[in-house]
Structure 1
Amino acid sequence: MSTDTTLVLGATGKTGRRVAARLRLRGTPVRAASRSSATSFDWSDPGGWDAALQGVGAVYLVPPTVPGPVHEFVKRAETAGVRTVVLLSGHGADRWGDSTFGLDMRSAEEAVRGSALQWTVLRPANFAQNFHEDVFGTAVRSGELVLPAGPVPEPFVDLDDVADVAVAVLADPDRHAGRTYELTGPRAVTFAEAAELISRASGEPVTYTRVTPERYAELLVEQGLDPDDAGHVAEMFVVMERGDIAETTDGVSAVLGREPRSFEDYVVRAAADGVWRR
Protein backbone atom coordinates (compact mmCIF):
# COMPACT_ATOMS: atom_id res chain seq x y z
CA MET A 1 0.00 0.00 0.00
CA SER A 2 1.29 3.45 -0.94
CA THR A 3 2.39 5.68 1.91
CA ASP A 4 2.71 8.89 -0.13
CA THR A 5 -0.47 10.29 1.37
CA THR A 6 -0.33 13.12 3.88
CA LEU A 7 -3.00 13.15 6.56
CA VAL A 8 -4.05 16.70 7.40
CA LEU A 9 -5.85 16.97 10.73
CA GLY A 10 -8.08 19.95 11.37
CA ALA A 11 -8.55 20.09 7.61
CA THR A 12 -11.45 22.54 7.80
CA GLY A 13 -9.61 24.78 10.26
CA LYS A 14 -7.53 27.88 9.71
CA THR A 15 -4.19 26.22 9.04
CA GLY A 16 -5.42 22.79 7.96
CA ARG A 17 -7.42 23.94 4.97
CA ARG A 18 -4.54 26.09 3.75
CA VAL A 19 -2.02 23.28 4.16
CA ALA A 20 -4.29 20.78 2.38
CA ALA A 21 -4.82 23.14 -0.56
CA ARG A 22 -1.11 23.78 -0.98
CA LEU A 23 -0.25 20.09 -0.81
CA ARG A 24 -2.82 19.29 -3.48
CA LEU A 25 -1.42 22.04 -5.69
CA ARG A 26 1.97 20.32 -5.42
CA GLY A 27 0.40 17.03 -6.48
CA THR A 28 0.70 15.46 -3.03
CA PRO A 29 -2.07 12.97 -2.18
CA VAL A 30 -3.99 14.44 0.75
CA ARG A 31 -6.37 12.85 3.22
CA ALA A 32 -8.26 15.73 4.77
CA ALA A 33 -9.64 14.81 8.17
CA SER A 34 -11.92 16.60 10.60
CA ARG A 35 -15.24 16.03 12.27
CA SER A 36 -17.01 17.30 9.13
CA SER A 37 -14.72 15.90 6.40
CA ALA A 38 -15.22 12.79 4.28
CA THR A 39 -12.52 11.23 6.44
CA SER A 40 -14.01 11.70 9.88
CA PHE A 41 -11.64 12.46 12.72
CA ASP A 42 -12.57 13.32 16.28
CA TRP A 43 -10.05 13.53 19.12
CA SER A 44 -12.72 12.24 21.50
CA ASP A 45 -13.35 9.12 19.40
CA PRO A 46 -10.16 7.02 19.03
CA GLY A 47 -12.17 4.37 17.21
CA GLY A 48 -11.80 6.27 13.94
CA TRP A 49 -8.10 7.06 14.15
CA ASP A 50 -6.71 3.85 12.61
CA ALA A 51 -8.80 4.22 9.46
CA ALA A 52 -7.57 7.80 9.04
CA LEU A 53 -3.93 6.66 9.43
CA GLN A 54 -4.09 3.71 7.03
CA GLY A 55 -1.63 4.13 4.16
CA VAL A 56 -0.36 7.49 5.42
CA GLY A 57 3.30 8.52 5.28
CA ALA A 58 3.12 11.95 6.93
CA VAL A 59 0.77 13.77 9.28
CA TYR A 60 0.09 17.47 9.76
CA LEU A 61 -1.02 17.36 13.38
CA VAL A 62 -3.22 20.06 14.89
CA PRO A 63 -3.57 18.99 18.53
CA PRO A 64 -6.74 19.13 20.63
CA THR A 65 -7.21 21.49 23.55
CA VAL A 66 -6.68 18.63 26.01
CA PRO A 67 -3.24 17.01 26.39
CA GLY A 68 -3.83 13.27 26.63
CA PRO A 69 -4.96 12.06 23.19
CA VAL A 70 -1.86 13.06 21.23
CA HIS A 71 0.30 10.46 23.00
CA GLU A 72 -2.06 7.64 22.02
CA PHE A 73 -2.45 9.01 18.50
CA VAL A 74 1.31 9.10 17.97
CA LYS A 75 1.61 5.48 19.11
CA ARG A 76 -1.00 4.47 16.57
CA ALA A 77 0.74 6.49 13.89
CA GLU A 78 3.96 4.57 14.57
CA THR A 79 2.10 1.26 14.34
CA ALA A 80 0.46 2.35 11.08
CA GLY A 81 3.83 3.02 9.46
CA VAL A 82 3.74 6.81 9.45
CA ARG A 83 7.22 8.27 8.97
CA THR A 84 6.84 12.01 9.50
CA VAL A 85 4.79 14.28 11.74
CA VAL A 86 4.63 18.07 11.67
CA LEU A 87 3.05 19.40 14.85
CA LEU A 88 1.35 22.77 15.17
CA SER A 89 2.15 24.12 18.63
CA GLY A 90 2.27 27.70 19.94
CA HIS A 91 4.86 30.47 20.09
CA GLY A 92 7.03 30.13 23.17
CA ALA A 93 5.08 27.12 24.46
CA ASP A 94 7.91 26.34 26.86
CA ARG A 95 7.49 29.78 28.47
CA TRP A 96 3.76 29.65 29.18
CA GLY A 97 4.27 28.30 32.69
CA ASP A 98 1.43 26.26 34.14
CA SER A 99 -1.23 27.89 31.98
CA THR A 100 -3.68 25.49 30.37
CA PHE A 101 -2.47 26.41 26.90
CA GLY A 102 1.16 25.88 27.82
CA LEU A 103 0.52 22.51 29.43
CA ASP A 104 -1.53 21.31 26.44
CA MET A 105 1.07 22.38 23.88
CA ARG A 106 4.00 21.00 25.83
CA SER A 107 2.23 17.67 26.25
CA ALA A 108 1.69 17.43 22.50
CA GLU A 109 5.31 18.36 21.82
CA GLU A 110 6.51 15.71 24.28
CA ALA A 111 4.40 13.12 22.47
CA VAL A 112 6.04 13.70 19.09
CA ARG A 113 9.54 14.27 20.45
CA GLY A 114 9.41 11.01 22.39
CA SER A 115 8.25 9.01 19.39
CA ALA A 116 10.13 7.09 16.72
CA LEU A 117 8.68 9.40 14.06
CA GLN A 118 10.63 12.00 12.15
CA TRP A 119 9.21 15.15 13.73
CA THR A 120 9.19 18.91 13.33
CA VAL A 121 7.41 21.36 15.65
CA LEU A 122 5.95 24.65 14.41
CA ARG A 123 5.28 27.31 17.02
CA PRO A 124 3.35 30.20 15.46
CA ALA A 125 2.42 33.40 17.23
CA ASN A 126 -1.18 34.64 17.16
CA PHE A 127 -2.53 34.62 13.62
CA ALA A 128 -3.06 37.96 11.91
CA GLN A 129 -6.20 36.51 10.31
CA ASN A 130 -7.79 36.18 13.76
CA PHE A 131 -8.86 39.78 13.24
CA HIS A 132 -11.38 38.72 10.61
CA GLU A 133 -11.79 34.94 10.41
CA ASP A 134 -13.07 34.54 13.95
CA VAL A 135 -11.84 35.24 17.50
CA PHE A 136 -11.61 39.03 17.13
CA GLY A 137 -13.50 39.42 13.83
CA THR A 138 -16.98 40.03 15.22
CA ALA A 139 -15.66 42.66 17.64
CA VAL A 140 -13.71 44.46 14.91
CA ARG A 141 -16.75 44.54 12.64
CA SER A 142 -18.82 45.95 15.50
CA GLY A 143 -16.40 48.87 15.72
CA GLU A 144 -15.00 48.14 19.18
CA LEU A 145 -12.28 45.64 20.00
CA VAL A 146 -12.42 44.84 23.71
CA LEU A 147 -9.52 42.80 25.09
CA PRO A 148 -7.29 42.55 28.19
CA ALA A 149 -4.16 43.46 26.24
CA GLY A 150 -1.98 46.40 27.19
CA PRO A 151 1.23 47.92 25.85
CA VAL A 152 3.09 44.63 25.26
CA PRO A 153 3.10 43.97 21.50
CA GLU A 154 2.34 40.70 19.76
CA PRO A 155 4.38 39.47 16.73
CA PHE A 156 1.34 38.35 14.70
CA VAL A 157 2.14 35.83 11.99
CA ASP A 158 0.29 35.51 8.70
CA LEU A 159 -1.57 32.23 8.26
CA ASP A 160 -0.31 31.98 4.70
CA ASP A 161 3.24 31.99 6.04
CA VAL A 162 2.39 29.26 8.55
CA ALA A 163 0.89 27.11 5.78
CA ASP A 164 3.84 27.77 3.47
CA VAL A 165 6.24 26.68 6.22
CA ALA A 166 4.25 23.54 7.01
CA VAL A 167 4.18 22.46 3.37
CA ALA A 168 7.89 23.19 2.91
CA VAL A 169 8.68 21.02 5.94
CA LEU A 170 6.42 18.21 4.74
CA ALA A 171 8.06 18.37 1.30
CA ASP A 172 11.59 18.04 2.73
CA PRO A 173 11.24 16.32 6.12
CA ASP A 174 14.87 15.18 6.31
CA ARG A 175 16.12 18.77 6.24
CA HIS A 176 13.81 19.84 9.06
CA ALA A 177 13.81 16.71 11.22
CA GLY A 178 14.15 17.39 14.93
CA ARG A 179 13.74 21.14 14.51
CA THR A 180 11.44 23.52 16.35
CA TYR A 181 10.54 26.69 14.46
CA GLU A 182 9.16 29.76 16.23
CA LEU A 183 7.04 31.54 13.61
CA THR A 184 6.30 35.26 13.89
CA GLY A 185 5.82 38.27 11.71
CA PRO A 186 8.66 40.76 11.12
CA ARG A 187 7.34 43.32 13.64
CA ALA A 188 5.30 43.10 16.82
CA VAL A 189 2.32 45.43 17.19
CA THR A 190 0.01 46.12 20.10
CA PHE A 191 -3.68 45.28 19.84
CA ALA A 192 -4.49 48.99 20.02
CA GLU A 193 -2.18 49.62 17.08
CA ALA A 194 -3.72 46.70 15.20
CA ALA A 195 -7.18 48.24 15.63
CA GLU A 196 -5.88 51.58 14.35
CA LEU A 197 -4.24 50.01 11.30
CA ILE A 198 -7.42 48.10 10.46
CA SER A 199 -9.51 51.25 10.85
CA ARG A 200 -7.24 53.27 8.58
CA ALA A 201 -6.99 50.63 5.85
CA SER A 202 -10.67 49.65 5.85
CA GLY A 203 -12.14 53.12 6.33
CA GLU A 204 -14.33 51.66 9.08
CA PRO A 205 -13.83 53.14 12.57
CA VAL A 206 -12.46 50.63 15.08
CA THR A 207 -11.67 51.59 18.66
CA TYR A 208 -9.72 49.59 21.18
CA THR A 209 -10.86 49.21 24.79
CA ARG A 210 -8.78 47.48 27.42
CA VAL A 211 -10.49 45.52 30.19
CA THR A 212 -9.22 43.26 32.94
CA PRO A 213 -8.80 39.54 32.21
CA GLU A 214 -11.61 38.85 34.67
CA ARG A 215 -13.99 41.20 32.89
CA TYR A 216 -13.00 39.77 29.53
CA ALA A 217 -13.81 36.26 30.74
CA GLU A 218 -17.21 37.54 31.90
CA LEU A 219 -17.86 39.06 28.48
CA LEU A 220 -16.98 35.78 26.76
CA VAL A 221 -19.39 33.89 29.01
CA GLU A 222 -22.09 36.47 28.17
CA GLN A 223 -21.42 35.67 24.51
CA GLY A 224 -22.05 31.99 25.16
CA LEU A 225 -18.59 30.59 25.83
CA ASP A 226 -18.16 27.92 28.49
CA PRO A 227 -16.77 29.50 31.72
CA ASP A 228 -13.71 27.23 31.75
CA ASP A 229 -12.93 28.00 28.10
CA ALA A 230 -13.45 31.71 28.75
CA GLY A 231 -11.00 31.56 31.63
CA HIS A 232 -8.42 29.82 29.44
CA VAL A 233 -8.72 32.46 26.71
CA ALA A 234 -8.32 35.27 29.25
CA GLU A 235 -5.36 33.43 30.73
CA MET A 236 -3.61 33.62 27.35
CA PHE A 237 -3.57 37.41 27.56
CA VAL A 238 -2.08 37.31 31.03
CA VAL A 239 0.83 35.28 29.66
CA MET A 240 1.22 37.61 26.67
CA GLU A 241 1.27 40.66 28.91
CA ARG A 242 4.34 39.31 30.72
CA GLY A 243 6.27 39.98 27.51
CA ASP A 244 7.87 36.53 27.41
CA ILE A 245 6.63 35.83 23.87
CA ALA A 246 6.68 39.33 22.37
CA GLU A 247 9.91 38.89 20.44
CA THR A 248 10.09 38.34 16.68
CA THR A 249 12.00 35.36 15.29
CA ASP A 250 13.61 34.19 12.05
CA GLY A 251 11.63 30.94 11.83
CA VAL A 252 9.76 31.81 8.64
CA SER A 253 12.86 32.98 6.81
CA ALA A 254 14.87 29.98 8.03
CA VAL A 255 12.44 27.63 6.29
CA LEU A 256 11.29 29.68 3.30
CA GLY A 257 14.33 31.82 2.57
CA ARG A 258 12.26 35.02 2.57
CA GLU A 259 10.96 37.50 5.10
CA PRO A 260 7.56 36.87 6.69
CA ARG A 261 4.56 38.90 5.61
CA SER A 262 3.96 41.98 7.74
CA PHE A 263 0.80 42.75 9.69
CA GLU A 264 0.35 45.82 7.50
CA ASP A 265 0.43 43.60 4.42
CA TYR A 266 -2.29 41.42 5.92
CA VAL A 267 -4.43 44.45 6.75
CA VAL A 268 -4.16 45.86 3.23
CA ARG A 269 -5.13 42.52 1.64
CA ALA A 270 -8.00 41.92 4.04
CA ALA A 271 -9.34 45.46 3.63
CA ALA A 272 -9.21 45.10 -0.16
CA ASP A 273 -11.28 41.91 0.19
CA GLY A 274 -13.87 43.82 2.20
CA VAL A 275 -13.76 41.55 5.24
CA TRP A 276 -14.52 44.43 7.62
CA ARG A 277 -17.14 46.14 5.47
CA ARG A 278 -20.29 47.00 7.44
Structure 2
Amino acid sequence: MPSTNHTTTILVIGASGKTGRRVTDRLVAQGRRVRPVSRSTQPRFDWQDPSTWSPCLDGIAAVYITYFPDLALPGAAETVDAFARLAVARGVRRLVLLSGRGEAGAQRAERYLQNSGADWTIVRCAFFNQNFDENFADSVRHGVLGMPAGDTAEPFVDADDIADVVVAALTDDRHIGEIYELTGPRLLTLAEAAQELGAAIGREVRYVPLSAEEFGAELGAHGMPAADATHLATLLSEVLDGRSSHTADGVWRALGRPARDFADYAKDTAETGAWRLETLAS
Protein backbone atom coordinates (compact mmCIF):
# COMPACT_ATOMS: atom_id res chain seq x y z
CA MET A 1 0.00 0.00 0.00
CA PRO A 2 1.64 3.25 -1.09
CA SER A 3 1.68 5.92 1.58
CA THR A 4 3.47 8.96 2.89
CA ASN A 5 6.58 8.29 4.94
CA HIS A 6 6.10 8.04 8.72
CA THR A 7 9.08 10.36 9.19
CA THR A 8 7.36 13.28 7.42
CA THR A 9 5.23 15.79 9.31
CA ILE A 10 1.55 16.46 8.60
CA LEU A 11 0.01 19.86 9.36
CA VAL A 12 -3.56 19.83 10.65
CA ILE A 13 -5.25 23.25 10.42
CA GLY A 14 -8.13 23.79 12.80
CA ALA A 15 -6.87 21.09 15.14
CA SER A 16 -9.41 21.98 17.83
CA GLY A 17 -12.37 21.63 15.45
CA LYS A 18 -14.76 18.72 14.95
CA THR A 19 -12.73 16.97 12.27
CA GLY A 20 -9.30 18.45 13.07
CA ARG A 21 -9.02 16.93 16.51
CA ARG A 22 -10.26 13.57 15.26
CA VAL A 23 -7.76 13.60 12.39
CA THR A 24 -4.96 14.55 14.80
CA ASP A 25 -5.85 11.74 17.21
CA ARG A 26 -5.90 9.17 14.42
CA LEU A 27 -2.57 10.28 12.97
CA VAL A 28 -0.94 10.22 16.41
CA ALA A 29 -2.35 6.72 17.00
CA GLN A 30 -0.70 5.63 13.74
CA GLY A 31 2.64 6.95 14.96
CA ARG A 32 2.66 9.82 12.46
CA ARG A 33 4.38 13.11 13.06
CA VAL A 34 1.67 15.74 13.40
CA ARG A 35 1.67 19.51 13.84
CA PRO A 36 -1.83 20.49 15.01
CA VAL A 37 -2.39 24.24 14.72
CA SER A 38 -5.07 26.81 15.47
CA ARG A 39 -5.30 30.37 16.69
CA SER A 40 -4.40 29.21 20.21
CA THR A 41 -1.38 26.99 19.44
CA GLN A 42 2.34 27.63 19.13
CA PRO A 43 3.10 28.11 16.32
CA ARG A 44 -0.17 30.01 15.89
CA PHE A 45 -2.23 29.70 12.72
CA ASP A 46 -4.79 32.35 11.83
CA TRP A 47 -6.48 32.49 8.43
CA GLN A 48 -6.85 36.25 8.83
CA ASP A 49 -3.12 36.75 9.51
CA PRO A 50 -0.99 35.40 6.63
CA SER A 51 2.19 36.10 8.61
CA THR A 52 1.30 33.07 10.76
CA TRP A 53 1.17 30.64 7.83
CA SER A 54 4.81 30.25 6.89
CA PRO A 55 6.15 29.26 10.35
CA CYS A 56 3.53 26.49 10.49
CA LEU A 57 4.74 25.10 7.15
CA ASP A 58 8.35 24.49 8.19
CA GLY A 59 9.21 20.86 7.40
CA ILE A 60 5.66 19.94 6.37
CA ALA A 61 4.92 17.32 3.70
CA ALA A 62 1.10 17.25 3.80
CA VAL A 63 -1.66 19.55 5.04
CA TYR A 64 -5.26 19.04 6.08
CA ILE A 65 -7.02 22.32 5.24
CA THR A 66 -10.10 23.39 7.14
CA TYR A 67 -11.20 27.01 6.81
CA PHE A 68 -12.81 28.89 9.71
CA PRO A 69 -15.55 29.94 10.03
CA ASP A 70 -16.78 28.55 6.69
CA LEU A 71 -15.25 27.94 3.28
CA ALA A 72 -18.27 29.39 1.49
CA LEU A 73 -17.94 32.85 3.05
CA PRO A 74 -16.81 35.77 0.84
CA GLY A 75 -13.04 35.80 0.30
CA ALA A 76 -12.46 32.37 1.83
CA ALA A 77 -11.61 30.67 -1.48
CA GLU A 78 -9.06 33.31 -2.35
CA THR A 79 -7.47 32.99 1.08
CA VAL A 80 -7.19 29.23 0.65
CA ASP A 81 -5.67 29.80 -2.80
CA ALA A 82 -3.00 32.07 -1.32
CA PHE A 83 -2.22 29.51 1.37
CA ALA A 84 -2.06 26.61 -1.10
CA ARG A 85 0.36 28.48 -3.34
CA LEU A 86 2.55 29.30 -0.35
CA ALA A 87 2.46 25.69 0.82
CA VAL A 88 3.55 24.36 -2.56
CA ALA A 89 6.32 26.97 -2.73
CA ARG A 90 7.50 25.77 0.69
CA GLY A 91 7.72 22.17 -0.54
CA VAL A 92 4.41 20.71 0.62
CA ARG A 93 3.48 17.77 -1.61
CA ARG A 94 -0.06 16.88 -0.53
CA LEU A 95 -3.12 18.99 0.27
CA VAL A 96 -6.45 17.63 1.55
CA LEU A 97 -9.34 20.10 1.63
CA LEU A 98 -12.49 19.90 3.74
CA SER A 99 -15.23 21.25 1.49
CA GLY A 100 -19.01 21.55 1.41
CA ARG A 101 -21.75 20.34 -0.89
CA GLY A 102 -23.48 22.74 -3.24
CA GLU A 103 -21.65 25.88 -2.09
CA ALA A 104 -20.32 28.16 -4.83
CA GLY A 105 -17.51 29.52 -2.68
CA ALA A 106 -16.41 26.05 -1.66
CA GLN A 107 -16.38 24.91 -5.29
CA ARG A 108 -14.17 27.88 -6.17
CA ALA A 109 -11.74 26.88 -3.42
CA GLU A 110 -11.70 23.35 -4.82
CA ARG A 111 -10.65 24.64 -8.24
CA TYR A 112 -7.86 26.67 -6.68
CA LEU A 113 -6.62 23.56 -4.87
CA GLN A 114 -6.72 21.51 -8.07
CA ASN A 115 -4.58 24.13 -9.80
CA SER A 116 -2.11 24.53 -6.92
CA GLY A 117 0.48 22.07 -8.23
CA ALA A 118 0.13 19.80 -5.19
CA ASP A 119 -1.20 16.27 -5.00
CA TRP A 120 -4.75 16.97 -3.83
CA THR A 121 -7.82 15.29 -2.42
CA ILE A 122 -11.16 17.03 -1.84
CA VAL A 123 -13.54 15.86 0.87
CA ARG A 124 -17.04 17.32 0.33
CA CYS A 125 -19.27 16.89 3.35
CA ALA A 126 -22.94 17.01 4.20
CA PHE A 127 -24.18 18.60 7.44
CA PHE A 128 -22.27 17.04 10.36
CA ASN A 129 -24.03 14.82 12.91
CA GLN A 130 -21.82 16.39 15.55
CA ASN A 131 -23.35 19.82 15.02
CA PHE A 132 -26.20 18.56 17.20
CA ASP A 133 -23.99 17.92 20.23
CA GLU A 134 -21.21 20.47 19.70
CA ASN A 135 -23.02 23.50 18.24
CA PHE A 136 -26.68 23.01 19.10
CA ALA A 137 -26.39 20.94 22.27
CA ASP A 138 -28.34 23.41 24.40
CA SER A 139 -31.20 23.44 21.92
CA VAL A 140 -31.36 19.65 21.83
CA ARG A 141 -30.97 19.46 25.60
CA HIS A 142 -33.97 21.70 26.12
CA GLY A 143 -36.08 19.97 23.50
CA VAL A 144 -36.42 22.69 20.85
CA LEU A 145 -34.25 22.58 17.73
CA GLY A 146 -34.68 25.73 15.68
CA MET A 147 -33.00 25.92 12.25
CA PRO A 148 -33.64 27.49 8.81
CA ALA A 149 -34.27 24.27 6.90
CA GLY A 150 -38.02 23.98 6.35
CA ASP A 151 -38.88 20.39 5.54
CA THR A 152 -35.73 19.74 3.50
CA ALA A 153 -34.11 16.32 3.90
CA GLU A 154 -30.35 16.08 4.52
CA PRO A 155 -27.99 13.04 4.50
CA PHE A 156 -26.23 13.94 7.77
CA VAL A 157 -22.63 12.67 7.90
CA ASP A 158 -20.59 11.64 10.90
CA ALA A 159 -17.37 13.46 11.78
CA ASP A 160 -15.68 10.14 12.57
CA ASP A 161 -16.31 8.99 9.01
CA ILE A 162 -14.90 12.28 7.72
CA ALA A 163 -11.78 11.91 9.86
CA ASP A 164 -11.20 8.36 8.65
CA VAL A 165 -11.41 9.49 5.02
CA VAL A 166 -9.12 12.48 5.62
CA VAL A 167 -6.47 10.35 7.33
CA ALA A 168 -6.57 7.91 4.43
CA ALA A 169 -6.19 10.79 1.97
CA LEU A 170 -3.25 12.26 3.89
CA THR A 171 -1.36 8.98 4.14
CA ASP A 172 -2.23 6.83 1.11
CA ASP A 173 -1.37 7.73 -2.48
CA ARG A 174 -4.45 5.91 -3.81
CA HIS A 175 -6.58 8.92 -2.85
CA ILE A 176 -4.63 11.52 -4.84
CA GLY A 177 -6.86 13.37 -7.30
CA GLU A 178 -10.09 12.06 -5.78
CA ILE A 179 -13.18 14.06 -4.87
CA TYR A 180 -15.03 12.22 -2.11
CA GLU A 181 -18.58 13.32 -1.43
CA LEU A 182 -19.38 12.18 2.10
CA THR A 183 -22.91 11.64 3.40
CA GLY A 184 -24.71 9.37 5.78
CA PRO A 185 -26.61 6.37 4.40
CA ARG A 186 -30.09 7.99 4.35
CA LEU A 187 -31.99 11.25 4.15
CA LEU A 188 -33.65 12.82 7.19
CA THR A 189 -35.62 16.02 7.58
CA LEU A 190 -34.78 18.13 10.63
CA ALA A 191 -38.11 17.06 12.13
CA GLU A 192 -37.15 13.40 11.67
CA ALA A 193 -33.66 14.03 13.07
CA ALA A 194 -35.23 15.71 16.11
CA GLN A 195 -37.45 12.66 16.62
CA GLU A 196 -34.45 10.33 16.50
CA LEU A 197 -32.54 12.53 18.94
CA GLY A 198 -35.54 12.48 21.28
CA ALA A 199 -35.79 8.70 21.05
CA ALA A 200 -32.12 8.37 21.96
CA ILE A 201 -32.35 10.85 24.83
CA GLY A 202 -35.66 9.58 26.18
CA ARG A 203 -37.62 12.84 25.99
CA GLU A 204 -39.21 14.90 23.24
CA VAL A 205 -37.10 17.03 20.92
CA ARG A 206 -39.12 19.01 18.39
CA TYR A 207 -37.97 20.90 15.35
CA VAL A 208 -39.02 24.54 14.85
CA PRO A 209 -38.37 26.03 11.38
CA LEU A 210 -36.72 29.45 11.55
CA SER A 211 -36.04 32.09 8.95
CA ALA A 212 -32.42 32.97 8.16
CA GLU A 213 -32.91 36.24 10.02
CA GLU A 214 -34.24 34.50 13.13
CA PHE A 215 -31.44 31.96 13.08
CA GLY A 216 -28.82 34.67 12.61
CA ALA A 217 -30.20 36.46 15.65
CA GLU A 218 -29.91 33.22 17.63
CA LEU A 219 -26.26 32.84 16.61
CA GLY A 220 -25.59 36.45 17.56
CA ALA A 221 -27.23 35.94 20.94
CA HIS A 222 -24.70 33.15 21.59
CA GLY A 223 -21.75 35.42 20.95
CA MET A 224 -21.02 35.07 17.23
CA PRO A 225 -20.00 38.36 15.54
CA ALA A 226 -22.95 39.90 13.71
CA ALA A 227 -21.42 39.70 10.22
CA ASP A 228 -20.44 36.04 10.64
CA ALA A 229 -23.84 35.20 12.10
CA THR A 230 -25.64 36.79 9.15
CA HIS A 231 -23.40 35.07 6.57
CA LEU A 232 -23.64 31.65 8.21
CA ALA A 233 -27.39 31.85 8.73
CA THR A 234 -27.92 32.81 5.09
CA LEU A 235 -25.52 30.11 3.93
CA LEU A 236 -27.21 27.42 6.02
CA SER A 237 -30.65 28.36 4.73
CA GLU A 238 -29.30 28.14 1.16
CA VAL A 239 -27.45 24.85 1.60
CA LEU A 240 -30.47 23.29 3.31
CA ASP A 241 -32.78 24.25 0.44
CA GLY A 242 -32.81 20.76 -1.06
CA ARG A 243 -29.75 21.02 -3.31
CA SER A 244 -27.99 18.35 -1.24
CA SER A 245 -30.97 16.09 -0.67
CA HIS A 246 -29.28 12.99 -2.05
CA THR A 247 -26.86 10.47 -0.62
CA ALA A 248 -23.41 9.76 -2.02
CA ASP A 249 -20.97 6.85 -1.83
CA GLY A 250 -17.80 8.71 -0.79
CA VAL A 251 -17.32 6.84 2.49
CA TRP A 252 -17.63 3.50 0.72
CA ARG A 253 -15.34 4.56 -2.14
CA ALA A 254 -12.63 5.80 0.21
CA LEU A 255 -12.85 3.24 3.00
CA GLY A 256 -14.71 0.21 1.63
CA ARG A 257 -17.30 0.31 4.41
CA PRO A 258 -20.74 1.87 4.95
CA ALA A 259 -21.21 5.33 6.44
CA ARG A 260 -22.38 5.59 10.05
CA ASP A 261 -26.13 5.95 10.49
CA PHE A 262 -27.64 8.94 12.31
CA ALA A 263 -29.50 6.70 14.75
CA ASP A 264 -26.21 5.12 15.87
CA TYR A 265 -24.69 8.57 16.34
CA ALA A 266 -27.69 9.72 18.41
CA LYS A 267 -27.66 6.62 20.61
CA ASP A 268 -23.90 6.68 21.23
CA THR A 269 -23.84 10.41 21.92
CA ALA A 270 -26.82 10.24 24.28
CA GLU A 271 -24.97 7.60 26.29
CA THR A 272 -22.11 10.06 26.88
CA GLY A 273 -24.50 12.45 28.63
CA ALA A 274 -23.96 15.21 26.08
CA TRP A 275 -27.65 16.18 26.18
CA ARG A 276 -28.32 15.45 29.84
CA LEU A 277 -30.23 18.11 31.73
CA GLU A 278 -28.24 19.16 34.78
CA THR A 279 -30.03 18.57 38.05
CA LEU A 280 -30.29 21.77 40.04
CA ALA A 281 -28.77 21.59 43.47
CA SER A 282 -31.44 21.53 46.17
In the superposition, the TM-score normalised over structure 2's length comes to 0.89
Q: Distance in 2 between matches of 1:250 and 1:241?
A: 20
**2: CA distance, partners of 1:150 / 1:243:** 10
How far off its partner does 1:219 sit? 3.2
The code of the aligned residue for 1:155 comes to P
Aligned-residue offset at 1:58: 0.4
- 1:185 pairs with 2:181: no
Change (3 A) 1:36 1:237: closer
CA contact (8 A) 2:99 2:110 kept: yes
Secondary structure, in 3 states, of the residue corresponding to 1:15?
A: helix
Aligned equivalent of 1:168: 168
Note the alpha carbon deviations across 1:144-187, whole angstroms, 9 max, x for none: 11122222111100000000000111121x31111111100001
Once superposed, what is the RMSD of the aligned Cα atoms?
1.7
Shift of residue 276, structure 1, vs aligned partner: 0.6
**Unaligned ranges ≥5, structure 1:** 94-101
Equivalent residue, structure 2, for 1:89: 99
Change over 3 Å in CA distance of 1:239–1:39 after alignment to 2:
same
Distance in structure 1 (CA, Å) of the matches to 2:65 and 2:240: 28
Q: Which amino acid aligns with 2:81?
A: H
Shift of 1:62: 0.7
Find 1:12's aligned residue among 12, 16, 31.
Answer: 16
Tell me, in whole angstroms, the C-alpha distance in 1 between the residues paired with 2:56 and 2:220.
35
The answer as to whether partners of 1:87 and 1:122 remain within 8 angstroms in 2 is yes
Whether the 8 Å CA contact 1:155–1:246 is kept in 2: the answer is yes
Aligned to 2:73: none
Per the TM alignment, residue 218 of structure 1 is displaced from its structure 2 partner at its CA by 3.0
2:7, 2:32 within 8 Å by CA — same for their partners in 1? no
Deviation at 1:3, TM superposition (A): 6.8
Superposed counterparts of 1:1-278, under 5 Å: 4-64=8-68, 65=70, 66-93=76-103, 102-103=104-105, 105-134=106-135, 136-172=136-172, 174-278=173-277
Instruction: State the partner residue of 2:280.
Output: none
Q: Identity percentage over the alignment?
A: 45
CA shift, 1:80, in A, is 1.1
Listed one character per residue, the Cα deviations across residues 19-51 of structure 1 (whole Å, up to 9, x for unaligned) are 011011111100111111233111122112111
CA distance in structure 2 between the partners assigned to 1:38 and 1:218 by the alignment: 34
- Equivalent residue letter for 1:120: T
SS in 1 for 2:110: helix
Contact in 2 for aligned 1:84/1:118 (Cα 8 Å): yes
Write the distance in 2 (CA, Å) between the matches of 1:50 and 1:59.
13
SS at match of 2:208: strand
Report Cα offsets for 1:210-264 as digits up to 9, x if no partner. 1222322233334443332222222234323431111000000000000000000
**Change over 3 Å in CA distance of 1:252–1:107 after alignment to 2:** same
Q: 108-117 vs 80-89, which deviates more?
A: 108-117
CA distance in 2: counterparts of 1:241 and 1:92, whole angstroms = 10
| 8 Å Cα contact 2:84/2:116 also seen in 1 | yes
Instruction: Give ranges in structure 2 of 5+ residues lacking alignment.
Output: 1-5, 71-75, 278-282
Deviations 1:103-158 (A, max 9, x none): 2x233212211111000100011100110111x22211122111222221111000
User: 1:32–1:39: 8 Å Cα contact kept in structure 2?
Assistant: no
Q: Secondary structure at the match of 1:119?
A: strand
Distance (whole Å) between structure 2 residues aligned to residue 83 and residue 242 of structure 1? 37
- Secondary structure, counterpart of 2:153 in structure 1: coil
Q: Which segment drifts farther, 182-191 or 195-204?
A: 195-204
